[in-house]
Chains A and B, each alone.
Chain A
């Protein structure tokens, strides 16, 4: 059974704080690691797709790193804003399979 685990489960921060979350995945047969942002009442939106060990990706104040040898990825948000409040999902893709295995997400709430 392939498990993708995310921590923490939820996080409350103050506006302006920087924060990060972890995604752990199987380190064997790695193909890709996806990060999605999921706002309430909307659909998940792709943030990053990462494929190479040591990869770092950035979009505005959000960035992510990848370590495929040890099976983890970090998502960082610099200077959190209330509009960053959402659930952040990571998903693991093994080999060249079409299947994405999702973690349960980290729910972020940014207080003004």
Chain B
């Protein structure tokens, strides 16, 4: 049973399209995150939700919109895709009270390629 699962694993799409990446965790965690792996391989935080409330909203284009229908799901919707959006996007989750002991659990990533 995968703890944090992202779909799709690979996404190739044309510029200008709108796409979504889904993330689900079955760990009972209360906090979920979206990270983007940039061109220098850094993992950069984009958004975080705690109990369905947006708590981190970094400086990302407003074409990116997260949605958390419940604690176990955090989706990322991207409008009007641009070439520069090509990257690997990682979802992660943690339990706020115990994240300082166990760390974050990551999904396996979604490789987005915009052509």
Contacts and interface: CB of A to CB of B under 8 A. Distances in A.
Q: Do A and B come from the same complex?
A: yes
B7 interface: no
B56 A51 contact: no
A87 to B, nearest CB: 8
Interface residues of A, number: 25
Interface in A5-52: 31-32, 34, 36, 42-49, 51
A49 B106 contact: no
B50 A102 contact: no
Contacts of B104: 34, 44, 46, 100
Contact of B108 (A43, A97, A98): A43
B43 A89 contact: yes
Interface residues of B, number: 28
A95 B59 CA distance: 20
B30 to A, nearest CB: 11
A71 to B, nearest CB: 18
B31 A32 contact: no
Given A51-B100, A98-B48, A99-B48, A43 B43 contact: no
Contact of B43 (A46, A47, A51, A102): A102
B106 to A, nearest CB: 4
A30 to B, nearest CB: 12
A65 interface: no
A98 B56 contact: yes
B87 interface: no
A98 B108 CA distance: 21
A104 interface: yes
A43 B42 contact: no
Interface of A: 31-32, 34, 36, 42-49, 51, 89, 91, 93, 97-105
9 contacts: A31-B100, A34-B103, A36-B106, A42-B108, A43-B4, A47-B103, A91-B43, A98-B50, A98-B96
